[in-house]
């Protein structure tokens, strides 16, 4: 205190101003600037959470529609599985393929059978490779009949080649693979294959 009393008023004013500037600098760097950073971070977090909340509200509004769609798809899956035959009955497949070939005028030269991997649980698939020959209209009619088979099947590959050159209606050679599906899981009450 004695040292302060010996200072003249000008030196005292400079000392007070220096201490005030140091206190203001400490306040600015230790409290105000971090507070501004926390406020900006909090505002960013509020904006992000607002977007997330709006997405959640929109999803909540769509939830009944999604549940209805899921139920519809589950019914379709059950209908698909119920419609699949439980037994392979390859003789029926052979009969169906040869009968359609005869009716459309397609010549079947080779028919091979092999098991394939099904991506559907409890469903086994059988691939039938066909080698045939016919003019385009007959071949097209046969392929259309394959698409409309009563058994669930899919055509997984078609290779065409020209069997005759320089003909007005040339014969086309075709190799194709038809995949047939068989249900191997348990049947529920009242389900019919």
Model confidence over 11-61: pLDDT tens digits?
A: 888 888 999 999 999 999 999 999 999 999 999 999 999 999 999 999 999
Question: Same structural domain for residues 61 and 145?
Answer: no
The pLDDT value given to residue 192: 46
Question: Same structural domain for residues 57 and 110?
Answer: no
Residue 10, φ and ψ in degrees, nearest 5: -65, -45
CA 109, 114, 117, 118 dihedral sign is: positive
The pLDDT value given to residue 1: 57
> At what angle are helices 136-147 and 90-104 packed, to 10 degrees?
150
Dihedral angle computed from the Cα positions of residues 56, 61, 64 and 70, in that order, rounded to the nearest 10 degrees: -50
Nearest in space to 174 (alpha carbons), one of 95, 101, 90, 94 = 101
More confident residue, 4 or 171: 171
Task: State the Cα–Cα distance between residues 20 and 29, nearest whole angstrom.
Answer: 14
Residue 132 clears pLDDT 50, i.e. is over it = yes
| CA 36 and chain centroid, separation | 45
Question: Same structural domain for residues 133 and 73?
Answer: no
Instruction: Tell me what the pLDDT averaged over the chain comes to.
Output: 83
Asked whether 97 and 130 are in contact (CB, 8 A), the reply is yes
Question: Same structural domain for residues 73 and 105?
Answer: no
3-state secondary structure of 26: helix
Reported confidence tier of residue 191, pLDDT bands at 50, 70, 90: very low
- 151: domain range? 90-183
Q: Which of 83, 116, 136 is the last residue of a domain?
A: 83
Largest CA distance in the chain: 126
Counted domains in the chain: 2
More confident residue, 75 or 12: 75
Residue 140 clears pLDDT 70, i.e. is over it = yes
Q: In what order do the strands lie in the sheet with 171-183?
A: 107-116, 123-135, 171-183, 153-162
More confident residue, 188 or 19: 19
Reported confidence tier of residue 136, pLDDT bands at 50, 70, 90: confident
């Amino acid at each position: 205190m004695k040292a302060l009393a010996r200072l003249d008023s000008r030196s005292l004013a400079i000392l007070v101003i220096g201490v005030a500037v140091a206190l203001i600098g400490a306040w600015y760097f230790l409290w105000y600037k971090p507070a501004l950073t926390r406020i900006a971070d909090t505002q960013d977090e509020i904006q992000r959470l607002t977007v997330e909340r709006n997405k959640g509200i929109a999803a909540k509004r769509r939830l009944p529609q999604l549940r209805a769609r899921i139920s519809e798809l589950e019914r379709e899956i059950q209908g698909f599985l119920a419609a699949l035959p439980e037994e392979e009955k390859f003789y029926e497949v052979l009969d169906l393929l040869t009968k359609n070939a005869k009716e459309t005028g397609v010549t079947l030269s080779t028919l091979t059978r092999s098991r394939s991997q099904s991506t559907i649980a409890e469903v086994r698939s059988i691939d039938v490779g066909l080698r045939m020959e016919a003019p385009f209209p007959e071949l097209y009619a046969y392929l259309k009949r394959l698409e409309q088979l009563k058994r669930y099947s899919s055509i997984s590959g078609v290779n065409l080649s020209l069997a005759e050159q320089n003909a007005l209606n040339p014969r086309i050679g075709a190799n194709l693979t038809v995949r047939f599906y068989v249900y191997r899981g348990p049947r529920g009450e009242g389900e019919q294959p």
